């Protein structure tokens, strides 16, 4: 048998019925997992998805909505489940009984499983007292109001800030750069300042991207400071260091916390520890993917890669001969900037740090993947490209 192909062991030989796999969640990781499972395991698995909403919103595009440079498309999970031969149940998982391999649902019902995959995402919490928190398109009107009031802020400063515990700062850069472009268009004397904990701009992508973004900030008139924002009061933003920055308006990104499920161990922040195959540590036959895990970079494309690994493991367990590729965290995104998008790419290690530069370009004005959206999923991106979003 070829190297890299996992043959089913005696304990994982398929029985007379398909392997019952329950997928809890309705985000990118859950959708990718369902498509990947059906592609890899075919009819060897019976898939049930449990999610409180039947819509998959493309929220990474939310930062552009106040400026009318992007929109948040929504896709129908009912159609995705039907095409993948999965059952879709509208409900919420509240507890897991690992020994009985049973879930308790908010509706009062119970569901049994052979394998459970949790892809419940994370909750966005306001973490800077007194600031306007931008989570996604739900808060677009708050940024739109700021844009409307720019004429009233002549001679003052608008600050975009990150609280402690935030490692994915790209949305903040987009908001700052798009706001600075609007200030320039109106020829206003309003200062734009960006405050993040990073030693270099978008540090997660490595020095090559950081240098390019630093130059872009400078030419756009965005001043960047290193620091961790704490609270806002009396027209000033106080940092955790005690330093204060004058600010007429402060827009912040939220801090994420995990979605706790009874019976599933989590750290004090609610995030779940997993191994390199997505297995939840200490809980047999339970896996987790996406923002609810302890992997520090929370981004939808990375979530789909975690889902792909889990799908391969479960397909092999169902009896399919599949190749389980080495775990890779390839971060791809499209940065919204005034003169057109920039495409950013980097491979991360297990701690979420950039690996040494490879031959592939890390930043480009041309797409580095296709479909060239703000995130890429091996199975989900082609599915979304082939389907029209649902009406708003």
Q: What token pair was written down for 1?
A: 């048998």
Answer positive or negative: Cα dihedral of 366, 368, 371, 376. negative
pTM, entire model: 0.93
Per-residue pLDDT of 322-364, as tens digits, reads 998 877 899 999 999 998 899 999 999 999 999 986 666 799 9
Give the pLDDT of residue 360.
Answer: 66
pLDDT at 294: 97
Cβ-Cβ contacts under 8 Å for 164 (sequence gap 6 or more):
127, 197, 228, 240, 255
Query: Taking the alpha carbons of 179, 181, 185, 189 in that order, is the dihedral positive or negative?
Result: positive
Looking up tokens 């997928």 gives: 23
Q: How far is Cα 130 from Cα 250, in angstroms, rounded to an integer?
A: 8
What phi and psi, each to the nearest 5 degrees, are found at residue 45? -125, 150
Q: What's the confidence (pLDDT) of residue 4?
A: 42
**How many Cβ atoms from other residues are within 10 Å of residue 118's Cβ?**
29
pLDDT at position 6 is 42
* Residue 12 pLDDT: 46
Q: Which residue has the tokens 């005690």?
A: 242
Which long-range contacts link 349-353 to residues 24+ away (Cβ below 8 Å)?
Answer: 350/276, 351/296, 352/167, 352/204, 352/295, 352/296, 352/297, 353/204
pLDDT at residue number 391: 76
What is the distance between the alpha carbons of residues 134 and 254, in angstroms, rounded to a whole number? 7
- What token pair was written down for 319? 């009896």
DSSP states along 145-210 = HHHHTGGGGTT-EEEEE--TT----HHHHHHHHHHHHHHHHHT---EEEEEES-SSTTGGG-HHHH
Say if residues 329 and 347 touch (Cβ distance below 8 Å).
Answer: yes
Kindly give the parts of the chain with pLDDT less than 50: 1-14
CA pair distance 74, 122, nearest whole angstrom: 19
What domains can you pick out in the chain, each with its CATH number? Answer: 5-9+17-121+259-327 (3.50.50.60), 126-254 (3.50.50.60)
User: In this predicted structure, what is the pLDDT of residue 14?
Assistant: 47
Separation of alpha carbons 157 and 142, rounded Å? 17
């Amino acid at each position: 048998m070829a190297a890299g192909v996992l043959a089913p062991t005696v304990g994982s030989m398929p029985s007379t019925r398909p392997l019952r796999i329950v997928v809890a969640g309705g985000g990118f990781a859950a959708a990718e997992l369902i498509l990947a499972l059906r592609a890899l395991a075919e009819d060897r698995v019976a898939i049930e998805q449990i999610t409180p909403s039947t819509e998959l919103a493309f929220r990474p595009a939310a930062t552009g909505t106040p400026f009318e440079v992007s929109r948040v498309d929504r896709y129908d999970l009912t159609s995705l489940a039907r095409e993948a031969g999965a059952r879709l149940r509208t409900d919420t998982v509240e507890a897991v009984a690992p020994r009985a391999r049973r879930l308790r649902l908010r509706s009062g019902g119970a569901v049994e499983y052979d394998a459970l995959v949790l892809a419940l995402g994370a909750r966005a919490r306001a973490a800077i007292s007194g600031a306007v928190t931008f989570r996604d398109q739900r808060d677009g009107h708050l940024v739109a109001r700021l844009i409307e009031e720019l004429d009233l802020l002549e001679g003052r400063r608008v600050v975009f800030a990150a609280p402690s515990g935030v490692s994915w700062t790209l949305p903040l850069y987009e908001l700052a750069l798009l706001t600075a472009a609007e200030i320039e268009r109106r020829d206003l004397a309003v200062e734009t300042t960006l405050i993040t904990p990073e030693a270099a701009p978008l540090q997660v992508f490595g020095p090559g991207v950081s240098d390019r973004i630093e130059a872009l900030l400078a030419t756009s008139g965005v001043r960047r400071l290193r620091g961790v924002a704490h609270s806002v009061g009396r027209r000033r933003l106080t940092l955790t260091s005690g330093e204060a920055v004058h600010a007429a308006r402060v827009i912040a990104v939220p801090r994420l916390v995990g979605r706790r499920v009874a019976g599933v161990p989590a750290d004090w922040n609610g995030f779940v520890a997993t191994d390199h195959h997505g297995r939840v540590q200490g809980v047999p036959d339970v896996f987790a993917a996406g923002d609810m895990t302890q992997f520090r970079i929370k981004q939808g494309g990375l979530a789909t890669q975690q889902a792909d690994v889990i799908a391969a493991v479960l397909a092999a367990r169902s009896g399919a001969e599949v190749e389980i590729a080495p775990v890779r965290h390839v971060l791809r995104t499209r940065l919204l900037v005034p003169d057109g998008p920039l495409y950013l790419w980097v491979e991360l290690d297990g701690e979420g740090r950039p690996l040494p530069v490879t031959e592939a370009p890390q930043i480009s004005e041309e797409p580095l993947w296709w479909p060239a959206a703000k995130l890429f999923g091996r199975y989900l991106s082609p599915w979304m490209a082939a389907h029209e979003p649902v009406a708003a």
